[in-house]
Structure 1
Amino acid sequence: MARPTRVSRALSQNFLTDRATVDHLARLAVPQPGKTSLLLEVGAGKGALTAALAPRCQELRAYEIDPRLLPGLRARFARTPQVRVVHGDFLAASAPRTPFSVAGNVPFSRTADIVDWCLRAPHLTDATLLTQLEYARKRAGDYGSWTLLTVRSWPRHEWRLAGRVDRSRFSPRPRVDAGIVRIERRRSPLLDRAGYASWCRLVELGFSGVGGSLHASLRGAYPRRRVDAAFRAAGLDRQALVGEVAPAQWLWLHARLEQDAAS
């Protein structure tokens, strides 16, 4: 009998072992079986999620960086033609030039880099990622506050907290619970390219902390009367903290400040 593969702390390995959770994650990643032409899996591990995703996809590329896991993966999916096991770092992969999805139980230590890769991929349609719960909640605004990354990407990507996974459903158990975050590229962006460029400048200025408040930060680039009018349009108090401003309110701020600047 083969010895069980020891987990690698360096690779932040926590294998998802609960079948119900695996099936739920697969359904979230591919809501309509057969409709997803190409899916990339981040960190296939021992293949639990791969096996649940495979029947739902036309093509599945399962990336695994740990060479010790490759023989088992390749043997498990040798007769599953739509699955291609890829040995390598997902972050080193080139993004496909056709529409594709991403899913995976991602290494917690590499979540930020994986999300950044997804957001930069021009043909990504959606990503379903199992991350640390705190990360998922922060990015989805579940604490009642919003981060720079979420707000900056909002005109092109929608973020959603899609579930919580108890740490007991992993082996070995991580120190914290996990959360499922869904990132979906909007079919119709809320802003065109020029509008998105000005959006990024506005949001980054607002999160810069210059002046000690969002209102003060924006006054560094716009006249006070225009900032006051934009805050009224967004339903914001001038003392509002930048993290408390929801993406919909940012859209009001941007629309009013850019409209006034163009007039």
Structure 2
Amino acid sequence: MSYQFSAPTPKDEGHRTRKRFGQNFLHDNRVIEKIVHAVAPRAGDFMVEIGPGLGALTAPLLVASEALTVVELDRDLAAGLPGRVSQPEKLTIVEGDALKFNFMTLVQNNKPLRIVGNLPYNISTPLLFHLLQYGSQVQDMHFMLQKEVVDRIVAEPNSKDYGRLSVMIQYYCKPEFLFEVPPGAFNPPPKVTSAVFRLTPYAEKPLVAKDEKQFASLVGHVFTQRRKTLRNTLKGRVDEQGFAQAQVDPMARPENLSLAQFVALADVAINPNP
């Protein structure tokens, strides 16, 4: 399938970026093409774009999709977006904060959402956690973030990048690192290298904790003291019998544990706030 690529035109570049919104506008057509081909939108897909900005991704996504809904916090950008695309009648614009938006309101006829976005780096982690709660209604998510965050998302145990974000994302989704994006692909260029990645929520999670709030609490707690042994960080929550039952070495550190071991630990832990 061929796509229409439309990087921001010179007249669009007159928009002043707003630091409080974390705006860095994508303008490299080669990168746009790679992203759209990775997403591979098809007729019948219900696409959602977070932070469309000047419409660099919006235009080609709109051509290939049955409908596209965008969530944009900047009112000026939202107002100008219909004039930057070739099929504005297929475009629905939601002016609002994606962190607070209920994405369930977009689901129609149980058709799963396909979510795309060049996410604002300053809210990327809380936004990802917000989106995880909609996993049952999401087919996949393609995002661009700073590479160091993507490295953490896809990290495996026994690596320096492995942490709370790795465990929690991988509990709900299959993550895939796709490709790097250099700073020069943006205007203004960020001070970091970016990367595009894919999250595919599990229709049925391969591992299910008995209490998912307990699981999230335990994972978050141990990684606040990642250099300590689990015996020390989980004192009062997991006893020796619990470690044995979960088949986890109490002298291990958080980065040594697999997702399955974290689930097993959470299942035997004592809830500190019953």
- In structure 1, the partner of 2:42 is 33
Whether 1:147 aligns to 2:163 is yes
Unmatched segments (≥5 aa) in structure 2: 1-9, 270-274
Q: Which range is displaced more, 104-113 or 190-199? A: 190-199
CA distance in 2, matches of 1:96, 1:217: 37
* Contact 1:146/1:245 (<8 A) preserved: no
- In structure 1, the partner of 2:262 is 250
Cα deviation per residue 1:56-113 (whole Å; 9 max; x = unaligned)?
3222112222233234311123634322233333333221253212111111112123
| Number of positions where the alignment pairs a residue of Structure 1 with one of Structure 2 | 251
Cα deviation per residue 1:183-205 (whole Å; 9 max; x = unaligned)?
22101122457354554455345
* CA gap 1:211/1:141 in 2 versus in 1, 3 angstroms: closer
Q: Which amino acid aligns with 2:127?
A: I
- In structure 2, the partner of 1:224 is 240
Q: Which amino acid aligns with 1:111?
A: S
Deviation at 1:45, TM superposition (A): 0.9
- In structure 1, the partner of 2:6 is none
CA distance in 1, matches of 2:251, 2:145: 33
Whether 1:87 aligns to 2:101 is no
TM-score (norm 2): 0.77
Q: Which amino acid aligns with 1:149?
A: L
Whether 1:108 aligns to 2:121 is yes
Q: Which amino acid aligns with 2:126?
A: D
Cα deviation per residue 1:191-246 (whole Å; 9 max; x = unaligned)?
457354554455345446499312444463344144146446xxxx5543202323
* CA gap 1:137/1:220 in 2 versus in 1, 3 angstroms: same
Deviation at 1:254, TM superposition (A): 5.9
In structure 2, which of residues 29, 32, 37 is the aligned counterpart of residue 19 of structure 1?
29
SS of the aligned residue for 1:154 comes to helix
Deviation at 1:14, TM superposition (A): 0.8
Deviation at 1:35, TM superposition (A): 5.1
* Contact 1:102/1:126 (<8 A) preserved: yes
CA distance in 1, matches of 2:186, 2:32: 11
* Contact 2:54/2:84 (<8 A) preserved: no
* CA gap 1:254/1:70 in 2 versus in 1, 3 angstroms: closer
* CA gap 1:171/1:208 in 2 versus in 1, 3 angstroms: closer
* Contact 1:43/1:64 (<8 A) preserved: yes
In structure 2, which of residues 138, 142, 145 is the aligned counterpart of residue 128 of structure 1?
142
Cα deviation per residue 1:162-199 (whole Å; 9 max; x = unaligned)?
22111111111101111223222101122457354554
How many percent identity over aligned positions? 22
SS of the aligned residue for 2:94 comes to strand
* Contact 2:51/2:70 (<8 A) preserved: yes
Question: Cα RMSD over matched residues?
Answer: 3.1
Unmatched segments (≥5 aa) in structure 1: 259-263
CA distance in 2, matches of 1:19, 1:162: 17
SS of the aligned residue for 1:90 comes to coil
- In structure 1, the partner of 2:174 is 158
* CA gap 1:191/1:50 in 2 versus in 1, 3 angstroms: same
